[in-house]
Structure 1
Amino acid sequence: MYIMYSSCTTGTPKCIVHGAGGTLLQHFKELALHCDVQREDNITYLTTCGWMMWNWLVSALFLGSRVTTFDGFPAHPTLNRVWDLIEDEGITHFGTSPRYLAACRRRMHPAESHDLTDLRVMMSTGAPLLPEDFDYVYDKVKPNVQLSSISGGTDIISCFMLGNPMTPVFSGELQTIGLGMDVIAADSNGDPAIGEKGELVCRQPFISMPVGFWDDDDGAKYREAYFDVTPGVWYHGDFVTHTRSVGQSGGMIVYGRSDATLKPGGVRIGTAEIYRIVESHPAVADSIVVGQSWRGDIRIVLFVILEDEHVWNDELIDDLRKEIATHTTAKHVPSVIRNVNKIPYTLSGKKVELAVRDLLHGEEPRNVDALADPTALDCYRNLDI
């Protein structure tokens, strides 16, 4: 069996027990059918050993393919380091994160600097992949690669939505729901919401469901975590739209975690809707956005890190607000925008919106030790906003 800890983006980590057999069958399906991994291929993924993507990567050995592991920081000494590995080792399947692709998007043109002949499939997970990242991959990396934005989690040690080598890739979308996964975007009544935002749910059992939680003999914590809304229906906690761009199973857009969803004036806004605009701005290196309770409502508060050559001033704040309003709606525009020097991430590279939100409400975040840099929270304490 596997024992996995969740990444703490939503609070105290869950100690999740997975069966080895169901996990291996699920990984075999995803690697062989959704990612087209074959015996002669060579796959790598930028992951720590503590993230479920490590377990997923190692399962490629079951297909007889070669697995190349990577140790260290992918941008040290330069961003070329990973692309050098892809060229030198003949990598066919490369897995990474939106954060890494965003860093490359601003600085690199791998199609010109490297021989990527062997590269067939690129995968990205950990956060929603922005349309700008899709454009970057097809314009600057390789025009005929299969770019698979994939999403699932430690909870299921696999994916709910991922790639399909036989269908088109649509910018900003995850290609398809996983085979054998009865996944929908559910409205407030639990019914399918086609083309509208809803909760990611799975209505039928699947082979990689956890055996249970550690030290949860009666299963109460397990049921509360996923089945509390509707008995027998798995509520995963993601905010999504099912577009059906390619058939009934095709096309999913992920906006972020449901518990990090912004609700100004009662309107549900996914954090990815704002990250898409803000992190495409040439002055912004990184950002984090949260909802703050304010005078009986929720207001949006945005924090940004600047690129080195830019200066923080009122003109830049106004420009960010204008860009957000132009490309989304007036409801998306933050009430407060502040400059910070650090953004908190988990060890697996996920932004921790809830920790920042807790600090804005005068509460101390839980499980700070799970952060890659716990001192990143210091700049959000005792803010006068």
Structure 2
Amino acid sequence: MKRHLYNADHDEFRSIVREFVDREVVENIERWEDERLIDRDVWLAAGKQGLLGLGAPVEYGGAGQFRDYRFRNVVLEELARVHATSLSSSFSLQDDIAIPYIASIGSDEQKQRWLPPMIAGETIGAIAMTEPGTGSDLRGIRTSGTRVDGGWVVNGAKTFITNGIHADLVIAVVRTDPDGGSRGFSLMVIERGMTGFSRGRKLKKVGLHGQDTAELVFEDVFVPDENVLGDIGGGFGQLVHHLPLERLSIAAHAVAAASSVLTSTVQYTDSRTAFGQPVADFQNTRFQLADVVTEIDVTRAFVDAAILAWNADELTVVDAAKAKMWASEMQNRVVDRCLQLHGGYGYMIEYPVGRAYQDARIQRIFGGTNEIMRQIIGQDLFGRR
């Protein structure tokens, strides 16, 4: 079935992205995974090539394509093509979370201060929601902000923070009113070098080894009023408003990654022989891969529709939850079946499917666990918020 998602502009952009990936990414993937950290140089190279800030306003150096996620999807597909999952995750945090928050709710002064260097890859962003003991329960956040003259004093700790080691600015969710309920949270931008802001451990993860994930600690950090993002007390609503884009990003990555694993598995089974014939010639192999390619194609159709809905400003919270939940579950099923078709070699990290197996597992957790996605979908069925 022919795919009708892209036009000539996206095809031209793909050639630019592919050239960048082949030049700047491919030869570094193994080293990044071994060192468990991605060089900042690739961020600068991506910024110079125009691959960051695709949705940011043109007046700040962005591409102004906030309502055309197809350009971001091209980047996801091209990074997935070479199995650069850690880099893809890091770029997604910047382009699908950090930059959109600042671009949509930041003041003109904040946009001018932060967006140009983020788009250039000079400034790396992060968002700090999760805390030890809270997980998906954002209402359990305990990081506190106390009002003082000219700003706020922030105390607390965050964990599982993507880009946590490299981050130059962190959009932190802070409880500013202990009795405010859902109106008791605010977003504050905490910058590298602020007194009392420190990094804890660089966390060792099951997968995404090249992408830095860290604990962050705030000890009497003074955050000036000009670093408050949006309205005081509006943090929870701002988080909910931005989650559909984050979940669309996860879903789109899931489809791209599963497709790439399928491609490498088809190549492997066609070249690998067992009992005197290619593994691809066994009926079980063909049946398994027939199921896999059908699952990917059907999921891609839904995610493509979600991308177009986002472009039309019509993607609902529920449909974003469906896309994230289903696509990430599909990705994990596909990778598991493809690994099995590799036999023992599939368990070796030098084979793409082995690393894909590790990297895929987090997709069912971050952006809201799939249990939370099912809760959102289930509540909608009964007309409850």
Q: In which range does the TM-score fall when normalised by the shorter chain? A: under 0.3
| Structure having greater relative contact order (Cα 8 Å, sep ≥ 6) | 2
TM score, norm. by length of structure 1: 0.27
Larger helix share, 1 or 2? 2
TM score, norm. by length of structure 2: 0.27
Larger strand share, 1 or 2? 1
